[in-house]
Amino acid sequence: MNTTVLRELAKKLLIAVCAAFLCAMSMNFFLVPAKVYASGINGAAQLITDVLRDYLHLSLSIGVLVLLLNLPIALLGWFKVGKSFTFFSFITVLFTSFFLSVIPVHPLSRDILLNAIFGGMISAVGVGVALKYGISTGGLDIIAIYLTRKNRNASSGKYFLILNGIIIVIAGAVYEWQYALYTLISRFVNSYVIDMIHTKYQKLTVITVTDQADKLVSAMQDQFDRGATIIPSYGGFTKKKRFSVMIVISHYELYKMEQLIKEVDPNSFTNILETNKIIGIFHTEEQQRAIQAMKHGEESERARHTLGDEDYHRFEQLFHTKTNVTIPGRFPFQDE
């Protein structure tokens, strides 16, 4: 394992720890004392702990419950979403559980509104920074991605809304509705800050102006297996011919894409656009893995099942056509 990979791994681990600390701090200093509920599995653990304590007189640590609830989700993510993504997500969950257990519950304010706002804001900084580096804080992220893949016409945002809505409604029904309303305020602040740090869009269009289009597209297809459009370009100041490489990715792939572009062509110019809607084929990570397997000659019924017959036969024909296996050194429209 080279130095660059180790440095990247250490950076991601550090980000995961910082994100976990901020999420735990937002809960124990602001949300838990005010009975305002966090987002996703953390909020579900918080609500279950409150109900067990207030109605059954059972004391259970929120940190322990966060870990227990995330274990089956981690297994789902490992086999159905992606091993790297799930690994760093679970590392974040592990440290969140640890910090929730060691940081004392200590209210910094008696004002519920202030607790709701600052609790949502602080946790959003942790989540937003984690997402910026291609890391998830676990829980609902993994569930939403999996459900989105099962229903390709729905966005993961829809599932976040449904699952968080269940927590809010139960909190309002079991306790006073004011807690549910303050939770809504906290969720709004949380979403707004995450959007500022990362992006509210699930898909992004990356346009890179480069003179090394062949290397860049080869690297992109090796890492992502997403289709790329090559557009001949012309430098306004330099008057030199360039190429614009356009590709659509998910927001979880943004950090990896940025690193890839910097590695292939540090002098390129990249514009990242927010994408509202896509009409056409957009492969999930599971489908990309199936395509990678086919590319390396590991064709199987599993790949056929993952891609569907039409996609499977299209890629089978593509990879068996020698001229299409690799990208030529120069594109047909590039001048000698």
Whose tokens are 């993504």? That residue is 85
Q: How far apart are CA 304 and CA 3, in angstroms?
A: 38
Contacts by residues 315-322 (CB-CB < 8 Å, ≥ 24 positions apart): 315/291, 319/294, 319/295
Range(s) of the chain covered by CATH 3.30.70.120: 203-325
Per-residue pLDDT of the chain (336 residues), as tens digits, is 578 778 888 888 999 999 999 999 999 999 999 999 998 889 989 999 999 998 888 988 999 999 999 999 888 888 877 777 788 888 999 999 999 999 999 999 999 999 999 999 999 898 888 877 878 777 777 777 677 666 655 555 566 777 778 888 888 888 888 988 999 899 888 888 877 776 555 678 999 999 999 899 988 888 876 778 999 998 877 788 899 999 988 777 888 899 899 999 999 999 998 876 666 666 666 676 677 777 777 666 667 777 777 777 777 777 766 444 444 445 554 444
The answer to whether the beta carbons of residues 272 and 205 sit under 8 Å apart is yes
**234: enclosing H helix or E strand:** strand 228-234
pTM: 0.67
> Read out DSSP for 207-224?
EEEES-HHHHHHHHHHHT
Tell me which architecture the domain covering 203-325 has in CATH: 2-Layer Sandwich (3.30)
The answer to whether the beta carbons of residues 95 and 17 sit under 8 Å apart is yes
- Strand-pair partners of 266: none
The answer to whether the beta carbons of residues 273 and 201 sit under 8 Å apart is no
> Read out DSSP for 108-121?
S-S-HHHHHHHHHH
Q: How far apart are CA 285 and CA 212, in angstroms?
A: 26
